[in-house]
Amino acid sequence: MTAQIHDIADQRPHLMVVASDGAHVIPRALIQSVIDGKQPSAILTEAVVQRIIEEWLQKVSA
């Protein structure tokens, strides 16, 4: 398995998501574009979506 590595230094702010398939650094704008429906959620891996939902559920259940 090989990972694609992209320099996103100019795409700040960004989020780090530690998912079951590894650590992902994702520009906040990309997450926002998924929320806004401008990008399909499929652009994120299933493991990333699961982790985001898991962390959200922990926040709203606390």
Series of mean pLDDT values for 10-residue runs along the chain (62 residues): 70 87 91 96 95 94 85
* Inside any domain, residue 6: no
Look at the pTM and tell me if it is higher than 0.85: no
pLDDT of residue 20: 93
Can you give the pLDDT at residue 1? 56
In which residue are the tokens 């429906």 written? 37
Report the C-alpha gap between 60 and 47 in whole angstroms: 20
* Count of the separate structural domains present in the chain: 1
**Residues spanned by the domain of 26:** 14-61
Q: Does 20 map to a domain?
A: yes
